[in-house]
Amino acid sequence: MINSIKLKNFRCYDELNLDKFSNLVIFSGKNATGKTSILEAIHISSFVKSHRTNDLKKVIKFDKDFTEIEIKSNKKLRIVISNDSKSLFVNNSQINKIANFIGLINVIMISPEDMYLIKGSKDDKRRFLDMNLSLLDKEYLYELSKYKKILAERNLLLKNEKIDNIMLNVLTEDLVKSLSIIYQKRINFINKINEYLVDICKNLKIGNLNLIYKPSYNQNDILKSFLNKTNQDMFLKSTSIGSHRDTFIIELDNKDVASYISEGQARITYIAIKLALKMIIEEKNETILLLDDIFSSLDSTKIESLTNYVSKSNQVFITTTSILDIPDNIIKNAVVIRL
């Protein structure tokens, strides 16, 4: 549970100090008052990544040289981001490996930016898998890092005019070893999401949702797939298949949601997937739920169903432009902070 938040030079804030939180905290205020920025800071403290931008430097307040985030829970977490570096601290001791910092607090963010799960690119969907699996599984984080290094070496080799075939084979075999682990962990993760979606979809009354993984190779013989692509890779001077090319699709009642559902259906779809993710994380760890202005986009039936999930969470932070959008049974148990 988060007990306090301090921000310096973060987005619109010169300084912000908040404490005396309960299990349920609501930030209320007009647009552009910094509500989402507070949730973003919490998200960064979990993943060392923003849900709004791939460039962490963008969270630094305009005309400032650095930003600082401090979150106190059972540990004090501090992140200092400048234009050329980021430094991580736990209880005032510097942490040199991001892997040792990620997941010290477990966060699920549900926000309008999650529309990327429905309408986003293959890169967006891979980022969803990599970010959440890295939080859940340190072996996955290790293999992903190793895979990226081997991939970079292989691509560099492919750019040579004269290619060392022996080295290419060695790198390909190493890449396939890591890829086999990454693929299986992604499949297990998606299968687990699908298991939880069965009950979630019933409760939210949205039909049958299913995530389907789409590999860029024959998963039954990954090495052969790479060998068959060798000439193409040499011509293109890049690795054309692998986990960096994979994606997944989302089906609602056996139809690809990216092609046919309405915006309202898309919202409740990504909410359902994020709730499934929350259930997976809570198999091992307590989770902090961040809800960024989502109640206003839902009808009363779905709000009532979502409220059940909110009430079972360890700690919840909610943003809203109107407190009237939040059900009374949530407000009565909440600390309300007006910005």
Q: What are phi and psi of 256, to 5 degrees?
A: -65, 120
Residue in the structure block whose two tokens are 């259906």: 265
Q: Which residues contact 288 (CB under 8 A, 6 or more apart)?
A: 1, 2, 42, 46, 105, 106, 107, 108, 313, 314, 315, 316, 317
- Cβ atoms of 81 and 47 closer than 8 Å: no
CATH topology of domain 1-106+285-339: Rossmann fold (3.40.50)
Q: Tens place of pLDDT for every residue, the chain, 339 residues?
A: 999 999 999 999 999 999 989 999 999 999 999 999 999 999 999 999 998 998 999 999 999 999 999 999 999 999 999 999 999 999 999 999 998 998 899 999 999 999 999 999 999 999 999 989 988 898 999 999 999 999 999 999 999 999 999 999 999 999 999 999 999 999 999 999 999 999 999 988 889 999 999 999 999 999 999 999 999 999 999 999 999 999 999 999 999 998 888 888 888 999 999 999 999 999 988 899 999 998 877 888 888 888 877 888 899 999 999 998 888 888 888 999 999
Spell out the domain ranges in the chain. Answer: 1-106+285-339, 115-281
Beta bridge partners of 28: 320, 338
Q: At what angle do helices 165-204 and 300-311 cross, to 10 degrees?
A: 110
Per CATH, domain 115-281 is 1.10.8.100: no
